[in-house]
């Protein structure tokens, strides 16, 4: 996997997690544990994107 495709993959994961979080938040039943897990994972992916971008100078 090249640098740009790795970064693109991380960005897709981040967007997917964001959509899932919004779906859960707007639903009639909010699964708090699942929501917390997704938000935590989203932050981890965002940190990966930032770190990867800094190391490779790719944005």
Determine the pLDDT at residue 41: 96
Distance CA 53, CA 27 (A): 34
What pLDDT does 15 receive?
Answer: 95
Structure confidence at residue 34 (pLDDT): 83
Report how far residue 35's alpha carbon sits from residue 56's, in angstroms, rounded to the nearest whole number.
31
Long-range contacts of 14-21 (CB under 8 A, 24+ apart): 14/42, 14/45, 14/46, 14/49, 17/41, 17/42, 17/45, 18/42
Q: List per-residue pLDDT tens for the chain, 59 residues long.
A: 799 999 999 999 999 999 998 888 887 666 788 888 999 999 999 999 999 999 998 76
3-state helix, strand, coil in the chain (%, to 5): 85, 0, 15
pTM of the model: 0.66
């Amino acid at each position: 996997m090249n640098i740009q495709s790795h970064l693109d993959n991380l960005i897709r994961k981040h967007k997917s997690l964001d959509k899932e979080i919004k779906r859960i938040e707007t639903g009639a039943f909010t699964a708090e544990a699942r929501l917390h897990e997704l938000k935590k994972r989203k932050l981890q992916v965002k940190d990966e994107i930032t770190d990867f971008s800094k190391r490779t100078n790719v944005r």
